[in-house]
Structures are given as C-alpha cells and as structure tokens.
C-alpha cells in the first residue's frame, strides 16, 4: 500500500512554503471576459468568485489575466499592470478568498493567439502563422526582438508583484494551450536561431526567465505555479518527452505547483479533442502523462481535463499520479460541485457537451466555449447557471451582440 491510498477529496494539501489548501479540488482557469473598458475587474467577477468560494473549491485560479494591455487574447480580458486600479483587484481577491479558499491569478500573454480584430500585428518567437485554417482569423505574427522579450518577462514579474499586493494568494503562469510561453517551447512555433530558440534548453529559457523574474519579485513565501502542456498534440510540436524535461527544470528552480493540460488553438485537446476513447473512459485526459512524470519527480501536480465523477477523482488521487483534481466546465454549471463531492464521494456531474446538432455550426460558433461563457455571465449577474441552456439561443444572442466577431476562433 502506498501513502496515497489514504488521500481523499477532503484531505488538505500543504505546499512547501507552508500554504495550506483545504481540500484536493482545484478550479482551473476559465476566461470570464468580464473586465471593464479599462480592463479592470468588475463587481460581476467579485460575485462569480465568491460563488465558487462558497461552493467549496480548495484552490481557485482566475481566468487568464493579461500582463500586457497591448496584447489581449479577448476584448474584455482583465489586465494587471501599473495602470490597473489595484483597489478593484483587492475586492476581487477578498471575494474569491471567502470560505478559506486560496485564490491565484493566472498570468498570460497571448503571443500570436490574438485575433485580427484585436491585434493588427501580434508578436511571437518567430514569424510563423497559426495553421489549421486559423490564419483567416489571426494575423501572421512578427518576431520578437531581444529587448521586447526582456520587457515581456518584466511584465510578468510586475503583474505577479501587483497580484501579491492586491491580496491574491498565489500566481499561475499560463504556459499551456499555445499562448506565448507555449509558443516559445514549441519547436514548430519557435524557430529562432538565437539563445531563445533551437535546442530545448534554449526554447525553455523564456519560461525559466519568466519564473525567475516572478520569484525575485514575490519572494519564496508566495506560491508560484504553472499550467503546462503534457504535449501540444501536433506534428513537430512540443512533445511529451520535452515536457517532462521542462517539469524537471521547473522543479529544480523551485516552482510550487504544476497543472497539467495539453493542446493549442490548432489542436484543442485540452477540452477533449482527438483524445483516445480508452483515455476518455478514465475521464482524465492527461493522467497517463502524469503517472509517468510522477515516477521521476516529487512536486505537487494538478491534472485538469475531463474529470466528472468523484470515483474517477478518488482513483486518480489514490494512484499518486496527481495531488489535486483540476475542474473547469463542471464548475461553470454547478458551482457547488465541490461541496456535493465532499458530502458524497460517489457524486458525479451530468454535464453534457452543448451542441446545436450541427457539427459545422458548433465548430464555427465555438459553442463548446461560448456556452460556458454564457454560464459564467449568468453567475456574475447573481443568477444560477442553466445546464439546459439551448445552444442555438447562445449562438443567436452572440450574433446579435457582436456579429461575426462572435464566430472567430476564441480560446481554451
Ligand atoms: C469557457 C472556457 C474558458 C477557458 N479559459 C481558460 C483560461 O483562461 N486559461 C486556461 O488555462 N484554460 C482555460 N480553459 C481551459 C480549462 O481551464 C480546462 O483546461 C479545460 O476546460 C479542461 O477541463 P474540464 O474538462 O474540467 O473543463 C477554458 C475553458 C473554458 C470552457
């Protein structure tokens, strides 16, 4: 019997800097798009995060907050920089930390994953356009200069320092899903010939420098985590073997927690796309990877993507492959899912993927993201989410609001 067998959903977890997380359930980032016109947090966000805190989640991570106001992933992203109104972030932190919840901010730079209508000239490690038909929606990026790279690293550190000042209990670097950090790691998207590209050692320099700059700013007692891809799931992308090497380096550097996901806009496996049937049966898409890495490293892990039932969550914790269970979509329709799981470990979400019944409309409207954004908006207004919300009504409402922009490739 290994010592993981005694771990349950309500077992607390203490990170190496002493932060105690009251249970093993982790709210994974979901971009809320609820910033105001100046990209500050709004009362709707305070309400939303208080709702999740009351629902019993142990560690809650915000949707991605941008470190650079000239590089947004979506129009209503929150930005955290020197121009931000810190008092609004303080209110957000206070609301989301109720009920003894830890609240971390996810910090992101989209790199080339910023749509044309937002950014005329995106930046990236190399001037390589997105593929898979996305080149219609996203402009070809310009290659970053050395001084621009240094400037972005500093921006991550500035945002992290401000997050600490505002009262958040930690930060998470968004190193997954094809955004800038993940673009640097990818041999396909990063074809630089300087010290930032080429070998894996060079490609991981950016994430390591971002981590070091953040650590220097926030000190050792403030948790810093990362969301990292197990792989990009695309030909010539960041591979599983490379991902394991990056995890080892981050462990050496002193990272506090690693959340595992996978995929990019071009190949969105983070929400189950092209995941093998046998894997889907175990619910968690990236558990096999975690099992493999955990044999070699000793670092708190969160596996995110696909978990729906208490039994699959318990099995994953007891196997030792993960220390926490990452949850996103189930919490968008059932914010008290954690409390229900604590009361009854056999509880399961009966969430069904939203569909219009027409795969091409689903794809074009990105219904699998849009539908959840509507649920977040409802909660932000103080309403209860609607699990039976009709997919067509979401499509029509969005079209009415923003026209064709609604149907540009969004996120995950
Ligand atoms: C509406 C929506 C927004 C998302 N935004 C983010 C984000 O800002 N940052 C991030 O790392 N992942 C984001 N994701 C991905 C989720 O964090 C998670 O990795 C994915 O949904 C799989 O977990 P699940 O099966 O529990 O939903 C988003 C997912 C959805 C549905």
Of residues 159, 39, 62, 48, the one with CA closest to residue 109: 159
Q: Per 3-state DSSP, what percentage of the chain is helix, strand, and coil (rounded to 5)? A: 40, 15, 45
Q: Which structural domains are found in the chain, ordered by start? A: 13-350 (3.20.20.70), 352-412 (no CATH)
Low-confidence ranges of the chain (pLDDT < 70): 1-2, 402-412
pLDDT digits (tens, 9 = 90+) for 350-380: 999 899 999 888 887 889 899 999 999 999 9
Contact 186, 139 (CB under 8 A): no
Our mutation pick for probing the ligand 1 site, out of 25, 26, 30, counting the most ligand atoms within 8 A of Cβ, is: 30
Our mutation pick for probing the ligand 1 site, out of 26, 28, 107, 313, counting the most ligand atoms within 8 A of Cβ, is: 28
Contacts of residue 35, defined as CB under 8 A and 6 or more positions apart, other chains included, come to: 41, 42, 45, 76, 77, 78, 79
Our mutation pick for probing the ligand 1 site, out of 25, 26, 27, 31, counting the most ligand atoms within 8 A of Cβ, is: 31
The response to whether residue 271 sits with its C-beta less than 6 Å from ligand 1 reads yes
The response to whether residue 227 sits with its C-beta less than 6 Å from ligand 1 reads yes
The Cα–Cα gap between 65 and 73 comes to: 9
Atom of ligand 1 nearest to the CA of 106: 9
Atom of ligand 1 nearest to the CA of 329: 27
Please report the pLDDT score of residue 136 as a whole number.
Answer: 84
Please report the pLDDT score of residue 357 as a whole number.
Answer: 94
Atom of ligand 1 nearest to the CA of 372: 1
Distance 28 CA to ligand 1 centre (A): 6
Of residues 151, 155, 146, 143, the one with CA closest to residue 68: 155
Q: How many CA atoms lie within 13 A of 153 on its CB side?
A: 20
**Model pTM above 0.85:** yes
Where do runs of H (alpha helix) occur along 258-366? 277-281, 287-294, 310-319, 329-333, 337-343, 359-365
The Cα–Cα gap between 138 and 264 comes to: 14
Residue with tokens 């990009």: 232
Distance 1 CA to ligand 1 centre (A): 34
Nearest CA to ligand 1 atom 22: 305
Q: How many residues does the chain have?
A: 412
Please report the pLDDT score of residue 412 as a whole number.
Answer: 53
Task: Name the helix (H) or strand (E) containing 49.
Answer: helix 43-54
The response to whether residue 410 sits with its C-beta less than 6 Å from ligand 1 reads no
The response to whether residue 328 sits with its C-beta less than 6 Å from ligand 1 reads yes
Please report the pLDDT score of residue 161 as a whole number.
Answer: 98
pLDDT digits (tens, 9 = 90+) for 195-208: 999 999 999 999 99
């Amino acid at each position: 019997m290994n010592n993981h067998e005694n771990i349950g959903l309500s077992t607390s977890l203490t990170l190496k800097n002493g932060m105690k997380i009251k249970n093993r359930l982790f709210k994974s980032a979901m971009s809320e798009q609820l910033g105001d016109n100046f990209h500050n947090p709004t009362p709707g966000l305070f309400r939303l995060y208080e709702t999740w805190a009351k629902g019993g989640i142990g560690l809650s991570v915000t949707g991605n907050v941008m470190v650079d106001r000239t590089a947004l992933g979506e129009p209503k992203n929150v930005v955290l920089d020197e121009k931000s109104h810190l008092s609004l972030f303080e209110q957000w932190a206070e609301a989301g930390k109720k009920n003894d919840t830890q609240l971390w901010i996810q910090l992101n730079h989209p790199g080339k994953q910023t749509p044309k209508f937002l950014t005329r000239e995106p930046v990236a490690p190399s001037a390589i356009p997105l593929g898979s038909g996305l080149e219609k929606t996203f402009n070809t990026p310009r290659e970053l200069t050395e001084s621009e790279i240094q400037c972005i690293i500093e921006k991550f550190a500035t945002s992290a320092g401000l997050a600490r000042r505002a009262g958040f209990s930690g930060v998470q670097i968004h190193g997954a899903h094809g955004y800038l950090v993940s673009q640097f790691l990818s041999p396909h998207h990063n074809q630089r010939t300087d010290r930032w590209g080429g070998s894996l050692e060079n490609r991981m320099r950016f994430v390591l420098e971002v981590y070091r700059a953040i650590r220097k700013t926030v000190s050792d007692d403030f948790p810093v985590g990362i969301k990292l891809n197990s792989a990009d799931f695309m030909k010539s992308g960041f591979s599983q073997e490379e991902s394991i090497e990056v995890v080892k380096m981050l462990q050496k550097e002193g990272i506090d927690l690693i959340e595992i996901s996978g995929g990019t806009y071009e190949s969105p496996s983070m929400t189950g796309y092209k995941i093998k049937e046998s894997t889907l049966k175990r619910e968690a898409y990236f558990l096999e990877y975690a099992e493999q890495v955990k044999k070699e490293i000793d670092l708190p892990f969160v596996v995110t993507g696909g978990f729906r039932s208490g039994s699959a969550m318990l099995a994953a914790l007891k196997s030792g492959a993960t220390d926490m269970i990452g949850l996103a979509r189930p919490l968008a329709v059932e914010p008290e899912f954690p409390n229900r799981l604590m009361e009854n470990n056999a509880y399961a979400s009966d969430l069904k993927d939203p569909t219009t019944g027409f795969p091409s409309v689903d794809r074009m409207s990105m219904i699998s993201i849009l539908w959840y954004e509507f649920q977040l908006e409802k909660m932000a207004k103080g309403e209860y989410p609607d699990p039976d919300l009709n997919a067509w009504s979401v499509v029509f409402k969005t079209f009415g609001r923003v026209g064709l922009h609604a149907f540009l490739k969004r996120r995950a």
